[in-house]
Structure 1
């Protein structure tokens, strides 16, 4: 599981760099075109979409690197074994969040209903009142659903990273490696 997480993280690093480069490029393009009094209105919206993609990809990468937000006020005073147990609990909660997000994305995109409606978007909307495939951004002119694909990607990759973290921590907890390492670090 750790190898899969590492491979996904490697891809995410490249995708994150690409998203941030795209944001920078679009913002610079916007500055130049506005200074020439020839504004491209779609550039603002495209930069926002690139930034949102970057945020979600980066958040998943943070789960892989275990750099997500933590409140250590409660765990710092705990003995080493309880701190490790708290870490396993947090990994389990992050995994639960990832799985919940996967389920919600499955419901949101609702591919079985889309296929059953013969890929007819109007029939799909009439069946479940879900306009995900019919919505369009204000200026970009493309459907919104491709931009929304970052949500299932984030959900899937967060689940992969959280599973790898949880497996690693549970194995370390039962093998005693983590406790010995942490006790040495505390000394």
Structure 2
């Protein structure tokens, strides 16, 4: 599981670099076109979409790298064994969040209903009042759903990384590996 997580994280690093370069390029394009009084209105919205993609991909990558936010005020004074148990609980909670996101994305995209309606978007909307496939951004004039694909990606990769982290921590806990040694190895 850790190897798969590492491979996905490498892919995410590349995607994150591309997204951030895209944000930078779009913002610079916007500055140049506005300075010559030839504004491209779609550039703002495209930059926002690229930044949203970067945020979700980066958040998943942070789960892999165990660099997520932590309040250590409660866990720092604990003995190593209890601190390690708290880490396992946090990993389990992150995994639960990832699984919840997978379920919510499944409901939101609702592919079984779309297939049952023979890919007819109007019929799909009439069945469940979900306009995900029909909505369009204000200026980009493309369907919104491809931009929303970052959500299932985030859900799946966060679940994968959290599972790898949890399995690794459980194995370390069973083997009696000292938590302090493990933390030093991660840094």
Q: What TM-score do the two structures reach when normalised by structure 1?
A: 0.96
Contact 1:135 1:143 in 2 (8 A): yes
Contact 1:80 1:182 in 2 (8 A): no
Shift of 1:75: 0.4
| Root mean square deviation, CA, Å | 1.5
Describe the superposition over 1:51-81 as per-residue Cα deviations: whole angstroms up to 9, x where unpaired. Answer: 0000000000000000000000110111110
Report the counterpart of residue 69 of structure 1 in structure 2: 69
Q: Distance in 2 between matches of 1:183 and 1:150?
A: 31
Report the counterpart of residue 148 of structure 1 in structure 2: 148
Closer/same/farther in 2, CA of residues 145 and 184 from structure 1, 3 Å limit: closer
Shift of 1:180: 7.0
Contact 2:19 2:53 in 1 (8 A): yes
Contact 1:27 1:47 in 2 (8 A): yes
Q: Distance in 2 between matches of 1:96 and 1:63?
A: 13
Shift of 1:181: 2.4
Q: Distance in 2 between matches of 1:184 and 1:94?
A: 22
Q: What TM-score do the two structures reach when normalised by structure 2?
A: 0.96
Report the counterpart of residue 129 of structure 2 in structure 1: 129
Give unmatched runs, 5+ long, in structure 1: none
Closer/same/farther in 2, CA of residues 30 and 114 from structure 1, 3 Å limit: same
Aligned residues: 185
Report the counterpart of residue 59 of structure 2 in structure 1: 59
Contact 2:49 2:147 in 1 (8 A): yes
Report the counterpart of residue 35 of structure 1 in structure 2: 35
Q: Distance in 1 between matches of 2:151 and 2:63?
A: 15
For residues 95-134 of structure 1, the aligned pairs below 5 Å read 95-134=95-134
Closer/same/farther in 2, CA of residues 163 and 23 from structure 1, 3 Å limit: same
